Amino acid sequence: MAVKKLFGNLRNGTADIKSHRWFHHTNFEGIFNRQIEPPFRPKIKSASDTSNFDDYPHSDLKISEHNLFQDQFEEF
């Protein structure tokens, strides 16, 4: 699927998502202002607790043979 055709990437941006019927009763302003109580709040032990996330096997970083975007970082 082309990313250009996904909701949020269309002409109206996030307005396309907010106006979708699935979100009809969603109070986006209340969410933004943190006035809405979340339906689920996971228990965490600390700010860096990742126990609510799945573990994934370590994979080695693959280095490309070609530096495809070097021109974009010349001034960096």
Residue 9 lies in a domain: yes
User: Domain containing 16: what range?
Assistant: 1-38
**Tokens standing for 32?**
């933004």
Q: How far is CA 73 from CA 17, 41, 63, 66, in A?
A: 33, 41, 17, 14
Give Cβ neighbours of residue 20 (< 8 Å, ≥ 6 apart).
Answer: 7
What torsion do the CA atoms of 53, 8, 34, 45 make, to the nearest 10 degrees? 10
The reply to whether 15 falls in a domain is yes
Write out the chain's pLDDT in tens, 76 residues. 677 778 788 888 889 999 999 999 999 999 999 999 999 999 999 999 999 999 989 999 888 888 888 888 888 7
Tokens of 57: 């096997």
Maximum Cα–Cα distance across the chain: 50
- Please tell me the total count of domains within the chain: 1
Residue 32 lies in a domain: yes
